[in-house]
Chains A and B, each alone.
Chain A
Amino acid sequence: EVQLLESGGGLVQPGGSLRLSCAASGFTFSSYAMSWVRQAPGKGLEWVSAISGNGGSTYYADSVKGRFTISRDNSKNTLYLQMNSLRAEDTAVYYCAKPLYDTSGYVNYDFDYWGQGTLVTVSS
């Protein structure tokens, strides 16, 4: 059974940093690209970042480019999101999500598994 378990959320002051983790199990983690998606309180979904299976390619939303860094440790089956220079508008539940398939480098970024999410609150 595929499981994604996020951790690392919490309350942080504007300008601060936080690192989120997503522990994956139930599938061959290193064979799949992974992604982070966030949802501000009472709002819709916003894609944040993605990373290829080997970590060699990364993608970011303009809203977080230069402030957030996605990475992965395939030996630990864990996905990370390092968030720096946090702003109030980064307040959201952050989900890690697994794409539907990743075949020979072609990734279908429709997300068939999601974690339960971790809440990040940026406030003074």
Chain B
Amino acid sequence: EIVLTQSPATLSLSPGERATLSCRASQSISSYLAWYQQKPGQAPRLLIYDASNRATGVPARFSGSGSGTDFTLTISSLEPEDLAVYYCQQRSNWPLTFGGGTKVEIK
């Protein structure tokens, strides 16, 4: 099973700041990585697929990068509505696996 390790566990930033979230895979997953945003009480929302492609309707301040084992989700300028937990997910191998999540707090 491919283990995805997300860091940091919590990120506390002010509006307008840049947020950098990391996801590391236990073995190479090429670019088969997605990022999701989950706001309190809601289902997850797909942000990024195939490591760097924004899903439909996702604001341009969200971007993804990386390949192999190291991936990054960047929020270029944090908005108050970005308060959420962010998860990465790999589809390279069965079983599909998710990272443990990074909670983004707004100061």
Contacts and interface: CB of A to CB of B under 8 A. Distances in A.
Contact of A114 (B44, B49, B94, B98): B44
Contacts of A108: 49-50, 91
Given A44-B87, A45-B87, A45-B89, A110 B46 contact: yes
B43 A45 contact: no
Contacts of A109: 91, 96
Contacts of A111: 34, 36, 44, 46, 89
A115 B99 CA distance: 20
B87 A116 contact: no
Interface string A12-40: 00000000000000000000000101000
B100 interface: yes
Interface in A69-124: 95, 100, 108-112, 114-117
B44 A45 contact: yes
A72 B54 CA distance: 30
A60 B95 CA distance: 7
B63 to A, nearest CB: 16
A111 B50 CA distance: 12
Interface residues of B, number: 23
A114 B95 contact: no
A47 B44 contact: no
Interface in B81-95: 87, 89, 91, 94-95
Interface of B: 1, 34, 36, 38, 43-46, 49-50, 55-56, 87, 89, 91, 94-101
28 contacts: A35-B96, A44-B98, A44-B99, A45-B38, A45-B87, A45-B98, A46-B98, A47-B89, A47-B95, A47-B96, A47-B98, A59-B95, A60-B95, A62-B1, A62-B95, A95-B44, A100-B49, A108-B49, A108-B91, A109-B96, A110-B34, A110-B49, A111-B44, A111-B46, A112-B49, A112-B55, A112-B56, A114-B44
